[in-house]
Chains A and B, each alone.
Chain A
Amino acid sequence: MLTSLIGAVALSWIASVVPEHRVQRVILFGCVAAVAYLIFYTLALFIYDKASVELEFLKSRSLSVVAALVVGAAISFFAPTKWNQRLWGGWVCVVPIGALAVLAYYLTPYFTR
């Protein structure tokens, strides 16, 4: 927690000195990329599982990471200007909920053994 506290304070300080629309764009990029990675990697593993031939490259995470970064960059770049004018207050709800989902996922072994 203390490590996160230091990191968060440093990032928040940087965010408060750079223009607001850039902060909004960076957070939008991060969130879209994270969701896109989840979708792409799940999809890649699903196709790998169902395919009748061995598609070894689909198991690599790097492919999904690159695709997610491209999608994140594209959406945050082409997003309507209105979206990026001000920092959206809803991030403070959306991201912690996402973080809780990830933490819950990592705790599943406690419930499955």
Chain B
Amino acid sequence: MAFWTTLLIIHGLLAVALLGAITHQAVSVWMPVRSKAGNFVTRFRAVPSTSYVTAIIVLYVVTFVMGAWIYTQYRFTSRLALEQLRFFKTVGVFEMKEHVATIGIILLPAYWAFWRQPLSEDYAAARKNVTLLLAIVVWTNFLIVYRQQCPGIWLMMPSSKLAVFTIVFGVAFAVIYVVCTELNLPLLTYHPVIGEVDFLWTPERRVRPCIGKAGC
């Protein structure tokens, strides 16, 4: 239990760091400061937004992986209790949080491509929008957990193929994710009772298969 609690606390701390970084970047991109920094709010807006990119990507991925790891425990402990106690809204909000986090992670390749140096004018608007959407995703997840507890310029870009790849990745992932979620098409099925993992979807198993006479 101490292990999961420690993991949860680290997950929370990383999430707060991510929240600060993405908020800083989103504010500095959407409300850039033209004059010299003065009061606290102006200084908050005056940060160099490009310097946050790597930190945000790393923090998001690490926070997400930790969250996914904790989710495996939540799925067959806390969630069962919540369902038995008929806290369906809580379960629903938590499930929504997981989907929002997944949608956030699929934005990361495009986010990274749009923020690559030198910054492309072609994707200036997309860069601002993706940053804002990512900030909304992180804030939404934070608030859910807290509550429970370019115009006209066509420059040649060296990274055009990369941008296409990341945009299509974001689009395709979102669509396939919805289909796979609703049709229940996992790549791996985990059986927590026997601690085994099967390839693709398999029915629930509570006993290990017989291997020879001794195993039966």
Contacts and interface: CB of A to CB of B under 8 A. Distances in A.
Interface of A: 1-9, 11-13, 15-16, 20, 23, 27, 30, 85-93, 95-100, 102-104, 106-107, 109-111, 113
Interface residues of B, number: 50
Contacts of B172: 7-8, 11-12, 15
B126 A92 contact: yes
Interface in B159-186: 160-178, 180-182, 185-186
Q: Does more than half of chain B's interface fall in helix, strand or loop, or is it mixed?
A: helix
A12 B166 contact: yes
B96 interface: yes
Nearest to B127: A89
Contacts of B186: 2-3
A12 B130 contact: no
Given A89-B130, A102-B178, 8 more contacts: A3-B180, A3-B185, A7-B172, A8-B168, A16-B161, A86-B154, A91-B171, A104-B96
Which 6 residue pairs across A and B have the least CB separation, nearest first? A89-B126, A110-B92, A8-B173, A2-B187, A15-B168, A99-B174
Contact of B168 (A12, A103, A113): A12
B187 A92 contact: no
A96 B107 contact: yes
A5 B175 CA distance: 11
The dominant DSSP class at the A interface is helix
Interface string B101-119: 0110011001000100000
B58 interface: no
A17 to B, nearest CB: 8
Given A2-B188, A23-B164, A111 B89 contact: yes
A25 B112 CA distance: 24
B126 A111 contact: no
Contact of B177 (A1, A86, A87, A104): A1
Nearest to A15: B168
* Residue with the highest number of chain A CB atoms closer than 10 Å, among B107, B160, B174: B174
A96 B140 CA distance: 15
A6 to B, nearest CB: 7
Nearest to A20: B164
A30 B172 CA distance: 11
Interface in B121-176: 122-123, 125-127, 129-130, 133, 154, 160-176
Given A89-B123, A92-B107, A92-B171, A110 B176 contact: no
